[in-house]
């Protein structure tokens, strides 16, 4: 068995091959298990058929769907605009008005000059919790007023359309909608969609 591990000094995680014998985790490679700091938390990914107790397998794989935002809600998509993109004047005026209206969101993720684009939900937005797997958002039609009310079939699609228009400096126009799209709470506070996932998974 090769002792090679796909380690990248700049990566946030590495993959360590292990095997389970008599309920104990053992290093599945040459040598010993690498030394770790105390209380290091990791995800152990195993095939479903490895579970002896099927009820526990069901517990880990249980899915549930929750409604989190209703049709008509307006959300804000955070982007990083570079002025060399030579935006049309009406776009620049739009960003100025949004900045004034939502000043509390400035630099929320540490971007140098963040901008926000408003989208409106045309469908209810739901989140599906998938046991210990990452939660997913349902497809949800929405429109982008500043782009002549163009419709998107999901938040990811809306993010891509917005990025293609305003972030032409980027090679890829995908993003993390959980982190980069915000909704307004009752107390006038704006929070990322991710806060729903955190609350429901806690």
130-163 pLDDT, tens digit each = 877 788 999 999 999 999 999 999 999 999 999 9
pLDDT 10s digits, 32-83 = 888 888 888 888 888 888 888 888 888 787 888 999 999 999 999 988 887 6
Distance CA 63, CA 130 (A): 4
Measured distance CA(118)–CA(14) in Å, rounded = 37
For residue 20, how far is the Cα from the chain centroid?
Answer: 32
- Rounded Cα gap, residues 202 and 189, in angstroms: 21
CB 108 within 8 Å of CB 49: no
Residue 129, beta-bridge partner list: 64
8 A C-beta contact, residue 169 and residue 158 = no
- Is the whole-model pTM more than 0.75? no
Bridge partners, residue 101, by sequence: none
User: Who's near 84: CB < 8 A, 6+ residues apart?
Assistant: 169
């Amino acid at each position: 068995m090769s002792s090679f591990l796909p380690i990248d000094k700049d990566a946030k995680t590495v993959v360590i091959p292990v095997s389970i014998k008599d309920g104990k985790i053992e290093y599945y490679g040459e040598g010993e298990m690498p030394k770790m700091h105390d209380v290091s938390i990791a995800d152990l990914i195993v095939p479903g058929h490895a579970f002896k107790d099927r009820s526990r397998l069901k517990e880990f794989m249980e899915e549930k769907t929750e409604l989190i935002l209703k049709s008509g809600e307006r959300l804000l998509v955070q982007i990083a605009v570079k002025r060399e993109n030579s935006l049309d004047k009406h776009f620049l005026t739009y960003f100025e008005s949004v900045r004034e209206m939502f000043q509390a969101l400035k630099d929320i993720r540490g971007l140098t000059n963040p901008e926000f684009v408003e989208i409106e939900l045309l469908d209810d937005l739901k989140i599906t919790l998938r046991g210990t797997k990452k939660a997913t958002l349902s497809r949800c039609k929405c429109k982008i007023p500043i782009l002549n009310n163009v419709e998107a079939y999901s938040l990811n699609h809306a993010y891509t359309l917005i990025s293609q228009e305003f972030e032409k400096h980027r090679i890829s126009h995908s993003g993390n909608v959980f982190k980069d799209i915000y909704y307004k709470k009752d107390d006038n506070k704006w929070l990322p969609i991710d806060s729903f996932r955190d609350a429901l998974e806690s």
